[in-house]
């Protein structure tokens, strides 16, 4: 929300039971990887990334590697001309903390492997044959039996409880006066208000809830965030005069889930009527894929064509032997768009 005055932020978090379910899904996927004979790297990947890719545990628990240094070639900046680092000094992960996180992760993997060993024996007995001899047609039966047996395993629930406790402990580094907690003690909201002259500090503070910067894995709270609302003079330094009266809404990108590639969810389409402008941002290097076409279709079908504005990014990556100059590249992108329309 662009407005004059102080900077304000409000961050809402996932409920505890939903966060716990995400963790349980990740632990179950990791255990099944071990049961199926997968490598430790594959098991770790499935522990870190929820199947729907909406929840990533490594942001909260850190890396398994003992040292992860930022790449000097990468530019990590706010993009608004602020001087200084993009993250507050208190958010830096020390080598000692990184080592401790790696040791804790190894303990989790050891415990999950023990659960997987018990699960493999139980499932093999239930199916009447070793896991390694299962055919593709037996896959569904294996998954159903494995899920049912996991829910009976006390060790599985203990691992999930330990991880969710570790996740909850990440809130302890926040200013507790800014946290609002529910009846169960789980944080439901974080708020912040700073004067306009402390712009950089404000952006750094909010970054913790939206960043995906790998060297900070272990201290980021991004996966637990349900929504962020910020208000203030969020205008570029070259802009003179008062802030434009704008409210900008952004959400999960189209195409992040399989079903959104062919259709747009009602959580997005119901906002079409509220908005004065619908901005479709697409990659010019490969313009108008299925997800973008789904947006175009829904905008036309809902009668909001006049609100649509299309912005093509990565235009510098549009290259080809038949595209000698900028005009031909623009015509190439525009032609692709016209074809889709």
- Give the whole-angstrom CA distance, residue 5 versus residue 197: 10
Beta bridge partners of 205: none
pLDDT score at 67: 41
- For 192-242, give the DSSP string: EEE-GGGHHHHHHHHHTTT---GGGTTT--GGGEEEEEEEB----TT--SS
Q: Which residues does 291 contact at the CB level (< 8 Å), separation at least 6?
A: 254, 255, 260, 261
pLDDT score at 330: 92
pLDDT score at 137: 63
- Give the whole-angstrom CA distance, residue 168 versus residue 170: 5
Strands 179-181 and 308-313: unpaired
- Cβ atoms of 293 and 287 within 8 Å: the answer is no
- Give the whole-angstrom CA distance, residue 325 versus residue 37: 53
Per-residue pLDDT of the chain (341 residues; tens, 9 = 90+): 999 999 999 999 999 999 999 999 999 999 888 887 888 889 899 999 988 778 899 999 998 764 444 554 444 444 444 443 455 545 788 888 889 999 999 999 999 988 888 887 777 676 666 665 666 666 666 677 777 778 888 888 999 999 999 999 999 988 889 999 998 899 999 999 999 999 999 999 999 899 888 888 998 999 999 999 999 998 888 888 888 889 999 887 776 666 555 678 888 888 898 999 999 999 998 878 888 888 999 999 999 999 999 999 999 999 888 889 999 999 999 998 898 88
Phi then psi for residue 7, to 5 deg, are -80, 135
pLDDT score at 77: 44
pLDDT score at 136: 62
* SS3 of residue 310 by DSSP: strand
Q: Which residues does 268 contact at the CB level (< 8 Å), separation at least 6?
A: 251, 254, 298
Phi then psi for residue 57, to 5 deg, are -70, -25
- Cβ atoms of 93 and 99 within 8 Å: the answer is no
**For 69-84, what is each residue's pLDDT tens digit?**
455 444 444 444 444 3
Beta bridge partners of 233: none
CA distances from 103 to 45, 48, 97, 142 (A): 17, 15, 10, 32
Take residue 237 and report the two structure tokens written for it: 């330094």
- For 84-127, give the DSSP string: S-SS-GGGPPPHHHHHHHHHHHHHHHHHHHHHHHHHHHHHHHHH
pLDDT score at 54: 80
**For 250-297, what is each residue's pLDDT tens digit?**
887 776 666 555 678 888 888 898 999 999 999 998 878 888 888 999
- Give the whole-angstrom CA distance, residue 51 versus residue 53: 5
pLDDT score at 169: 92
């Amino acid at each position: 929300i662009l407005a004059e005055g102080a900077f304000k932020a409000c961050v809402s978090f996932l409920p505890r039971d939903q966060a716990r379910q995400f963790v349980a899904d990740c632990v179950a996927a990791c255990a099944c990887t071990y049961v199926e004979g997968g490598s430790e790297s594959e098991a770790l990947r499935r522990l870190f990334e929820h199947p729907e890719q909406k929840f990533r545990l490594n942001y909260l628990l850190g890396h398994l590697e003992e040292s992860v240094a930022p790449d000097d070639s990468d530019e990590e900046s706010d993009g608004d001309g602020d001087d200084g680092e993009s993250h507050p000094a208190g958010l830096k992960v020390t080598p000692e903390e990184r080592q401790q996180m790696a040791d804790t992760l190894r303990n989790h993997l050891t415990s999950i492997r023990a659960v997987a060993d018990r699960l493999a024996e139980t499932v093999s007995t239930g199916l009447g044959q070793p896991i390694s001899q299962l055919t593709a047609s037996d896959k569904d039966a294996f998954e159903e039996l494995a899920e049912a047996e996991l829910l009976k395993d006390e060790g599985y629930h203990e691992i999930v409880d330990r991880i969710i406790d570790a996740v909850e402990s990440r809130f302890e580094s926040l200013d507790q006066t800014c946290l609002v907690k529910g009846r169960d003690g789980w944080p439901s909201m974080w708020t912040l208000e700073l004067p306009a002259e402390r712009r950089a500090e404000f952006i750094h503070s909010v970054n913790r809830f939206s960043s995906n910067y790998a060297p900070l894995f272990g201290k980021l709270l991004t996966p637990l965030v349900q929504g962020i609302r910020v208000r203030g003079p969020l205008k570029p330094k070259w802009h003179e005069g008062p802030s434009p009266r704008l409210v900008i809404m952004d959400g999960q990108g189209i195409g992040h889930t399989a079903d959104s590639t062919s259709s747009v969810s009602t959580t997005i389409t119901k906002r079409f009527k509220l908005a004065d402008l619908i901005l479709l941002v697409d990659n010019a290097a490969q313009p108008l894929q299925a997800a973008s076409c789904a947006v175009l279709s829904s905008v036309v079908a809902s009668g909001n064509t006049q609100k649509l504005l299309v912005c093509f990014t990565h235009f510098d990556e549009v290259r080809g032997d038949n595209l000698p100059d900028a005009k031909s590249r623009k015509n190439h992108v525009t032609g692709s768009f016209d074809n889709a329309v």
